[in-house]
Amino acid sequence: MNTVIIINLNGNAFHLEEPGFQSLRAYLERAQAALRDNPDKAEIMADLEQAIADKCAHFLRPHKNVLTAAEIDGVLKEMGPVQSENAADAAASASTSAGNGPNAESKSSGTAASAPKRLYQIREGAMISGVCTGLAAYLNIDVTIVRIAFVVLTLLTTGIWILVYVGMMLAVPFANTGEEYAAAAGAPFNAQEVIDRAKKHYAEFKDSKEWRRHWRQQRREWRRRWHEGAYWWGHNLQRNVQQFSSSAGYGGHLGATLLIPFLAVFNAVLFCACVAAIVSLATTGAIFGWVVAGSIPLWASILILIFFYSMLSQPLRHARRAIYFSTGGHSYYWFAAWYEILSTGVLILVCWFAYTHVPEVRDFFQHFAQNVTTMWNNIVESFHHTATHQPGPGVDARLPAAAAAASASAFLALRT
Amino acid sequence: MTTDPKFNPIRKGLLEFLILQIISADKVYVADMMKRLQETDFATQEGTLYPLLSKMRREEYVDYEWQESDSGPPRKYYKLTAKGKTQLAEFKDYWAYLNTTINQLGR
């Protein structure tokens, strides 16, 4: 037994089994998308609907007035995928297997290669808004890697990267229709996919009660932590400022003016050194020629490097904030702007210097795309290596130790 | 005749002219066109044909008129325009030229 849906195809009423209706809708949606820029879209859609209606009519008898899902699938296969006439219409490639021939599958795989990819936000499995899940689908990599990259970038840019996230959150559209989901992953879109997705949704929905409870718990936990953290930060800052202004007074003002360039230079140099170290590690497997202990995988050593960097830079940042505040609220922005300009200037200077005087750096930038790909492949490989291979007993003990050290340093860095 | 995917671009490019040729004989509707192409190497599907025909109409090589049919709703019958006839003649000339070129090159 199956639910029956009545539809109107270009003025003709048809009774379809529900799965058949789903595939038909998917087919027409896809046709709409393919003809998006076609000036005759409405007319072609009407023609297609009429053609489908004609084909469907062949299956109807006085005592059989419902079209089965299999019949609809057959009709749609016979119709063939709709291609906009100027964009890669593989007309003839379809011609070799017209009708419902056995090579119908090869056709859809042909479109797979040319399926356009678009960036969407995907709510399914999203932590915040779906930016990372969308990016992961777009780049065809694991979402965890994207998330780690975002966190790392946020740490490295001292939070500015969050703005990129927020910007994408606002600018990147959400994937809503099945076709958009397909475009997000660059996968071919067909009726079967829609059906599979619907089944999956249903399964998820069945245990959604438990899932919702879990989500609520998680949210509560996040809120609690957020409040705690905010309170602690404010409290600490206030104390720092009080210490500074009481001990320094006007001298503090002058000292701050002199201290800021120093901090800016130091921070910029530190940042460059960290980036260079990571690049050197990822491309050659050694930091400026110094080989890291072989048992630590590449990704872990990069994480450790980043933690060292934040351990060094976090106290600097706090000192800077304290200086801003010690000079009194009104000149805060002026100092902040000056600091940013200075450190950006130093950053550019260091990059320029390295580019003109260090041949390795110049090499790196001249084959930038290739090098980045190599780096990325190295990191992913090391990740997979650790994930798939059970480490030996010696490494077994060292890995958790490294992880513990890393988290401890992170903790310290935040507490400073 | 052949399924070598290397020939696909050729078939693809020729389809438009074959449609001109089919229409040149008599007014036809899409199902007719499909049936005639079906027996050849150029068999195609509605999903491809409708967008192609609409493009050709936009470029004024073909036009259609509605005709009542006794077995269903009115159908679109396609016919060649003057521009379409010229194009078809040009195509045939060019095709003959290509044939001679290909044959002569081997000598």
Minimum distance, in Å, between the CA of residue B93 and any CA atom of chain A: 23
How many CA atoms within 13 Å lie on the side-chain side of A135?
A: 17
How many C-beta neighbours within 10 Å does residue A7 have?
A: 17
| Predicted confidence (pLDDT) per residue in B70-102, tens digit | 777 788 899 999 999 999 999 999 999 999 999
Minimum distance, in Å, between the CA of residue A192 and any CA atom of chain B: 18
pLDDT, position B96: 93
**Is B43–A50 a contact, with Cβ atoms under 8 angstroms apart?**
no
Please state, in angstroms and as integers, the Cα–Cα distance from residue A236 to each residue in A52, A242, A249, A303, A319, following that order: 71, 10, 20, 27, 12
Minimum distance, in Å, between the CA of residue A2 and any CA atom of chain B: 29
**Is B76–A47 a contact, with Cβ atoms under 8 angstroms apart?**
yes
Question: What residue in A sits closest to B46 (Cα-Cα)?
Answer: A79
pLDDT, position A105: 36
User: Count of CB contacts below 8 A, A vs B?
Assistant: 106
What distance in Å separates the CA atoms of residue B72 and residue A113, rounded to the nearest whole number?
A: 39
List the one residue out of A99, A77, A61 whose CA is nearest residue A69.
Answer: A77
Using CB atoms, which residue from B12, B38, B58 is nearest to A91?
Answer: B12
What distance in Å separates the CA atoms of residue A177 and residue A194, rounded to the nearest whole number?
A: 9
Can you name the residues that pair with B61 across neighbouring β-strands? none
pLDDT, position A207: 55
Using CB atoms, which residue from A35, A86, A98 is nearest to B38?
Answer: A98
What distance in Å separates the CA atoms of residue A76 and residue A351, rounded to the nearest whole number?
A: 58
Task: Kindly give the interhelix angle for A143-156 and A161-171, rounded to the nearest 10 degrees.
Answer: 130
Residue of A12, A95, A107, A189 for testing the chain B interface, max B β-carbons within 10 Å: A95
Predicted confidence (pLDDT) at residue B15 exceeds the cutoff of 80: yes
Using CB atoms, which residue from A43, A83, A86 is nearest to B48?
Answer: A83
Can you name the residues that pair with B64 across neighbouring β-strands? B78
pLDDT means per 10 residues, chain A with 416 residues, are 85 86 86 84 89 87 86 88 59 38 37 57 76 82 84 78 78 69 62 60 61 71 67 59 52 62 79 82 72 68 79 73 64 73 83 80 78 80 64 46 56 46
The residue behind tokens 């077995």 is B71
**Is A90–B30 a contact, with Cβ atoms under 8 angstroms apart?**
no
Cβ A18 vs Cβ A46: under 8 Å = no
Cβ A220 vs Cβ A228: under 8 Å = no
List, in order, residues 6 or more apart from B57 with CB less than 8 Å away.
A40, B63, B64
Contacts of B38 in chain A (CB under 8 A): 98-99
ipTM of the modeled complex: 0.85
Predicted confidence (pLDDT) at residue B69 exceeds the cutoff of 60: yes
**Core vs surface per residue A361-397: b (16+ CB within 10 A) or e:** beebeeeeeebeeebeebbeebbeebeeeeeeeebee
